[in-house]
Structure 1
Amino acid sequence: MVSDGANLSPRQRRLILVSMTGSLAMIMMDTTVVGVALPEIGRDLGIGEATVAWVVNAYLLAMASLIALGGRIGDLIGKPRAFRLGVITFALSSLGCGFSTSGTMLIGCRVLQAVGAVLMQPASSAIVISTALPGREGRAMGVYIGISMLGLVAGPVLGGFITEKIGWAWIFFINLPIAAFALIMVSIARPPRLQDPEKGLDLPSVGLLVVSVPLAIGSIQQSGVWGLFDWKTLSGVFVGLLAFGLFVHRQSRLSRPLINVKLFRDRGFLADAGMLGFMQFALVGTVIHLSLLTQSTFGFDPQAAGLATLPLVVPVLLLVHFSGRGYDRFGVRPLAIPATIIAGGSVVFLGVAALKGSLPLLFVGMVILGVAMPFVNMPANTDGMRRVGMERRGVASGLLQSVRMIGAALGIAVTAAVANQFQISETMLEGLECGEVDQELIRRAASGDLAALELLGAGLPADSPCLVAVKAGIAEGIGWGFVVAGLISLVALLAALAWVPAPAPAPAEPADPA
């Protein structure tokens, strides 16, 4: 069995790229496809807005906590074997999600989905970069990352259509044929094992990581329920960060760490990870809350809310190929520096558009963000993978994807926490004409519960000061959430880019066109 992709035929390379790309698109799509369906899920399963939010973040937090472990497992048992195991786990848990009869069951199955995803994602990334021809890694990763980004931003479009036409359960059932296709393709292609012969797995490290990330980020998310400065919020964040610090310290002392923190000594790798993390911070929180904004403020149904994200989807589809070619020719800096400025600025622009209640401005902001995304994500991911040896690419991929998932979960949590601080309060509602409407219903509607907002709208005239104030409060909260997320991502991305060394000259163009 070959240890890399040197002896693969052009046909094998194409099949490998197709199967790996399809699997990653499925993982990314499941990050955002649920967003527009959350109100329907809440109604059908009888769960409130606080529980519904965990349908999204349980998936992200489990991935962030376990993906480094998934990368290490791929190193131990071989990347293709880890990939197949992950696909099967993801498919079976998707079936469980669709058949869920309670919020607890659905959230549990979402965690199992994440377990499948953490086995798939690091393995697939390592397989793609290791089987591409020298000098063509950027093009291969351009397809791999680009199509996955398309899955991420197209999730609301697909989720809205499926929820409206055949029901929310099918947003999970659709994963089954994709998983079957990926398994068939990888069985035909027979990628190399790409296995690390050195065994070993540090269980205390696994425990510290599994505790630290969900505790810190989950506490930030729950601040909307507990209060931003409540002792539970502050203590959860503190203990989570403390556990994470102990985890990092332990990794620096191990000969076979779960996460090789020494990789961050390479300033370029550190910058690549920072770019990926903060791009996900800005992107995922924005995409999830755009669906809430269009349904609450503009009265869109799930299908229309999904279609409203097309201005974000189309630029990604059109430009992703050019980002891969651009990396092969120019490296990271010429692409990522302007793209990060544009991306962070566009999220701030979306916040201003939400504050003004302007749908045309929202569309403009989405187009700008969609243009910038491919020129950050693809170059940063490819560059990070190329900076490590072949035998460590599973660990490196797991580390990069951990940073991305932590960024995504933080983006949702921070955007939601900021939005909650600006929502209209019950005290502000006391002076409005809300009639005999139940105050608990008003409170739930003001917090962004779309099912409650629908009931409130059914009992009040469209121009009721109470209803108008509630909708305006939701828009204002989300708008400020976007502004804060955009500013944070902009500052951090620019700082990371300042550390990126100048790109090495592009490798010579290979003669083989495959």
Structure 2
Amino acid sequence: MRATLIATTSAMVMLVLDSSIVGVLLPSIRADLDVGPATQAWIVGIYLAVLAVLLPLGGRLCDALGAARAFSIGMAAFTVASAGIGFSGSGPEILAWRGVAGAAAALLMPAGLAVLAEVYPDDRRAGALAVYTGVGQGFATVGPLVGGLCAEFVGWRWGFLVNVPVGIAGLVLLARARPVTPRHPGRALLDLGLFRRPAFGGASVVLFALGFGMTVATVYGAAALQETLSLPPAAAGAAVLPLVVPLLVATRWAGRNGPRVGPRVLGVSGTLALAAGLVGAGAGIVLGQVVVVCVALVPAGLGIGLLLGPMTNTALSAAPVDRRGQASGLVSTVRQVGGVAGVGAVGALASTWPVTAEGGAGAVPIALGFAVSAVVVLTSAAVAARSFPSLVGRARPAA
């Protein structure tokens, strides 16, 4: 089982690094390939759009093909797409390969979760998911720094080519582990009835809010430090690091103690911590105080660590065994949609004020975006309090 966990975690690392470093690499891509603003926007957008549209289908394919086979196909396709992006010689080539990467991720993301759900028994799944999500999101927070270092010292192409050896290693490890994941063909594409299950629906709401708040904290946190507080890219990436250690500590603690504490306590405490961090970070941006932003990222990291693995496990545990692929696809879709909504909301606010090097008016919309994110997260705290039992063992999934 250890090899299976390492293989699936390597896939999560690839996916989150790819998403978090691309923004930092865009200026270098523009200078090297002479692409315009519209192409730059689509380099990010086409991946997210394809991923969001195809995630439900990817989850269904996991059930039909078997999670392990779907994982191998998705991993191989994402590895090839990463190589294609790295060797692209024009903007249209990058766009094409980014679309392929989005389609591969739509299969790989739910397949990784489904493999772990099938391989690990109920009493060990929470710990496995804690490693899977915690390591992946830890890499997401350092992604901008990694991207900046690649762009400055070895070239933007290596930001994508680094995925190739990781993908190959993941495929080899999974082939050696040979996890048994049965096929469940014959159902409709989407079983929206899963949302009627209180634990699944509640976990989905929390994951949507988590995607919203986490994206704002990581993406706009680093951007705000550069655009409104005048930090250079490497320093801005380093300033986000206070998010990482609390996230990893909370993830590990939740993985060990989640079954004892229960999803209600984790859901409420995690959302409150994340909301407090978002409010504090927004205040630090308005005040122009980097230290305040860094300190506020500590409770934000704790909140993310308490939520990501446990809420995912709660949702998967609430789904019947033969629909865990669909469940994985649905919760992944919900979290991605939350992230897209967070980017859209803060982007819309930011577009209404000019961004200045000294902060001033530019800091206001970003701080408002952090406040809106905090409200969304707090709303999900109420849902968590009403939807979850005190202990996981009291909510056994129906067959």
Q: Same fold (TM over 0.5)?
A: yes
* Superposed CA offset, 1:158-189 (max 9, x none): 22222222122111111011101100000000
The alpha-carbon distance between structure 1 residues 48 and 314, as it changes in their structure 2 partners (threshold 3 A), is farther
Structure 1 position 33 matched with structure 2 position 39: no
* Superposed CA offset, 1:390-449 (max 9, x none): 21110110111110111111111111111112x23xxxxxxxxxxxxxxxxxxxxx4xxx
Which residue among 484, 490, 499 is the counterpart of 2:386?
A: 499
Residue 301 of structure 1 corresponds to 232
**1:60 maps to amino acid:** L
Structure 1 position 473 matched with structure 2 position 361: yes
1:49 deviation in Å? 4.5
The alpha-carbon distance between structure 1 residues 42 and 354, as it changes in their structure 2 partners (threshold 3 A), is farther
Residue 205 of structure 1 corresponds to none
Structure 1 position 376 matched with structure 2 position 307: yes
Residue 258 of structure 1 corresponds to 189
The alpha-carbon distance between structure 1 residues 505 and 109, as it changes in their structure 2 partners (threshold 3 A), is closer
- Which residues in structure 2 correspond to 1:122-161 (within 5 Å)? 122-161=110-149
The alpha-carbon distance between structure 1 residues 105 and 290, as it changes in their structure 2 partners (threshold 3 A), is farther
Partner SS state of residue 386, structure 2: coil
Counterparts of 2:229 and 2:392, CA distance in 1: 50
Residue 385 of structure 1 corresponds to 316
Which residue among 207, 224, 228 is the counterpart of 1:276?
A: 207
The alpha-carbon distance between structure 1 residues 417 and 130, as it changes in their structure 2 partners (threshold 3 A), is same
Partner SS state of residue 299, structure 1: coil
User: Does the Cα contact within 8 Å between 2:6 and 2:173 map onto a contact in 1?
Assistant: yes
User: Does the Cα contact within 8 Å between 2:227 and 2:357 map onto a contact in 1?
Assistant: no
Structure 1 position 169 matched with structure 2 position 157: yes
1:476 deviation in Å? 2.7
Counterparts of 1:479 and 1:102, CA distance in 2: 37
1:136 deviation in Å? 1.2
Residue 80 of structure 2 corresponds to 92
The alpha-carbon distance between structure 1 residues 501 and 299, as it changes in their structure 2 partners (threshold 3 A), is closer
Which residue among 320, 334, 353 is the counterpart of 2:265?
A: 334
User: Does the Cα contact within 8 Å between 2:259 and 2:393 map onto a contact in 1?
Assistant: yes
1:338 deviation in Å? 1.3
- Which residues in structure 2 correspond to 1:149-298 (within 5 Å)? 149-198=137-186, 256-298=187-229
1:262 deviation in Å? 0.4
User: Does the Cα contact within 8 Å between 2:20 and 2:144 map onto a contact in 1?
Assistant: yes
Counterparts of 1:150 and 1:129, CA distance in 2: 21
Bigger share in helix: 2
User: Does the Cα contact within 8 Å between 2:267 and 2:381 map onto a contact in 1?
Assistant: no
Counterparts of 2:245 and 2:391, CA distance in 1: 31
Structure 1 position 409 matched with structure 2 position 397: no
1:502 deviation in Å? 1.3
Structure 1 position 487 matched with structure 2 position 375: yes
Percent identity (aligned): 32
Structure 1 position 350 matched with structure 2 position 281: yes
Partner SS state of residue 373, structure 1: helix
Counterparts of 2:316 and 2:39, CA distance in 1: 37
Counterparts of 1:25 and 1:505, CA distance in 2: 28
Which residue among 25, 47, 64 is the counterpart of 1:76?
A: 64
User: Does the Cα contact within 8 Å between 1:385 and 1:397 map onto a contact in 2?
Assistant: yes
Residue 6 of structure 2 corresponds to 18
User: Does the Cα contact within 8 Å between 1:60 and 1:408 map onto a contact in 2?
Assistant: no
* Greater displacement, 364-373 / 150-159: 150-159
Counterparts of 1:100 and 1:283, CA distance in 2: 31
1:41 deviation in Å? 2.8
**1:278 maps to amino acid:** A
- Provide TM-score, normalisation by structure 1: 0.73
1:51 deviation in Å? 4.1
User: Does the Cα contact within 8 Å between 1:62 and 1:114 map onto a contact in 2?
Assistant: yes
* Superposed CA offset, 1:318-360 (max 9, x none): 3321111121212201112011011122112212211121111
User: Does the Cα contact within 8 Å between 1:269 and 1:383 map onto a contact in 2?
Assistant: yes
Counterparts of 2:345 and 2:39, CA distance in 1: 17
User: Does the Cα contact within 8 Å between 2:259 and 2:391 map onto a contact in 1?
Assistant: no
- Provide TM-score, normalisation by structure 2: 0.93
The alpha-carbon distance between structure 1 residues 330 and 365, as it changes in their structure 2 partners (threshold 3 A), is same
Counterparts of 2:221 and 2:103, CA distance in 1: 27
Q: Aligned pair count? A: 394
* Greater displacement, 92-101 / 401-410: 92-101
Q: Which structure 2 segments of 5+ residues have no match?
A: 395-399
Counterparts of 1:194 and 1:141, CA distance in 2: 20
Counterparts of 1:190 and 1:124, CA distance in 2: 14
User: Does the Cα contact within 8 Å between 1:277 and 1:407 map onto a contact in 2?
Assistant: yes
Counterparts of 1:57 and 1:485, CA distance in 2: 21
Counterparts of 2:264 and 2:27, CA distance in 1: 42
Q: Which structure 1 segments of 5+ residues have no match?
A: 1-12, 199-255, 425-445, 447-466, 508-514
1:291 deviation in Å? 2.5
Counterparts of 1:42 and 1:366, CA distance in 2: 31
Counterparts of 1:168 and 1:306, CA distance in 2: 16
User: Does the Cα contact within 8 Å between 1:284 and 1:408 map onto a contact in 2?
Assistant: yes
